[in-house]
Amino acid sequence: MRLRLLLPSDLPGVEALLNDVAAQEGGEALSEEARLDLGAIGSGVVIESRGRLAGCASLRHEGGHLVIELACAPGAADEVLDRLLDGVLEQAQGHPVRLWCVDEKTLAAGLARGLQRSRTLLELECALPIERRARVPAGVEIRTFSADDIPALLDVNNAAFGGIVWTEADVAARLRRPWFDPAGVFLAWEGDRAIGVSWTKMHPGGVGEIYLLAVHPEAQGRSVGRELALTALEYLHEVGAATGLAYTNAGNQRARQVYSWLGFETVRVRECLEG
């Protein structure tokens, strides 16, 4: 069993491994951020077993922590996960880490190494189409995205989630992804000021994701987020989605109320461990 740094030549194999995991487990093993990091040949490692790629891990620095996301090939032996996790924890060199766990094996392995639960992310789904029941608030207009809207999108997103969450470089990286569709990004405007954004992403198999839903704090409580979510789901159904997908923190009651109202139900839980 061999653990080594990710090479450009590994990317097709990593992509195939992640697709296999998604097909077997019914959900993505790595977040979009992790996939972007791996695609840019960032801090990634792979593990080989019997001459075949058996797992991979993305490592990125965020908020003073080393963030770890990993995936093992379906059917891989437990020792593959143990060796991969131990290897990436060694690279932390004593610095604080965050480990995202999408299955019980990874969660148990992280807890066994002294990491503690810190955050729970819910994966939600609903059937499409859904009945439209909301109206745009008076004085608000929803328009599709253009490249000139990047500063406005950043202003809304970073205000909604607190601090510098994304930079222009972060948005530009996502605009280059094969799935990006400018017709599926919507901004809510009040006069010349953006107050909300919803961003969609199509997955294989007729699954359409609300990739981003954010409302400026000064505009919350006015059904802007609900209307943006409805607009996004309508669009996703129009381009072929039969299932809606969304993610939210378990502690975000406002978002959970919106998604519940839309008919979303929890289908998967992702745990974040720290230590």
Token look-up 């922590």 returns 65
Residue 119, pLDDT > 80, answer: yes
Gap between the Cα atoms of 253 and 87, Å rounded: 37
Gap between the Cα atoms of 267 and 226, Å rounded: 21
Question: Phi and psi for 222 in degrees, rounded to 5?
Answer: -120, 15
Is the CB of residue 226 less than 8 Å from the CB of residue 186? no
Residue ranges per structural domain of the chain: 2-114, 125-269
Tell me which residue of 209, 205, 238 sits closest to 123, measured CA to CA.
209
| 2-114 and 125-269: identical CATH topology | yes
Domain 125-269, CATH class in plain words = alpha beta
Instruction: Output 86 or 39, whichever has higher pLDDT.
Output: 86
Residue 156, pLDDT > 70, answer: yes
Dig out the tokens for 28 from the structure.
């993505």
Residue 244, pLDDT > 90, answer: yes
Q: Which band of pLDDT confidence, cut at 50, 70 and 90, is reported for residue 210?
A: very high
* pLDDT digits 0-9 by tens, 157-197: 999 998 778 999 989 989 998 899 999 999 999 999 999 99
pLDDT at res. 273:
97
Gap between the Cα atoms of 148 and 256, Å rounded: 31
pLDDT at res. 133:
65
Gap between the Cα atoms of 156 and 196, Å rounded: 6
Gap between the Cα atoms of 246 and 266, Å rounded: 9
The beta-carbon contacts of 166-173 under 8 Å, at least 24 apart in sequence, are: 173/36, 173/40
Rounded to the nearest integer, the mean pLDDT of the chain is 92
Residue 54's alpha-carbon distances to 2, 76, 186, in angstroms, are 10, 7, 39
Dig out the tokens for 84 from the structure.
């991969």
Residue 117, pLDDT > 80, answer: yes
As a three-state string, the secondary structure of 219-246 is HCCCCHHHHHHHHHHHHHHHCCCCEEEE
Is the CB of residue 153 less than 8 Å from the CB of residue 145? yes
Beta bridge partners of 247: 123
Residue 274, pLDDT > 90, answer: yes
Gap between the Cα atoms of 74 and 71, Å rounded: 9
Domain 2-114 fold: Aminopeptidase (3.40.630)
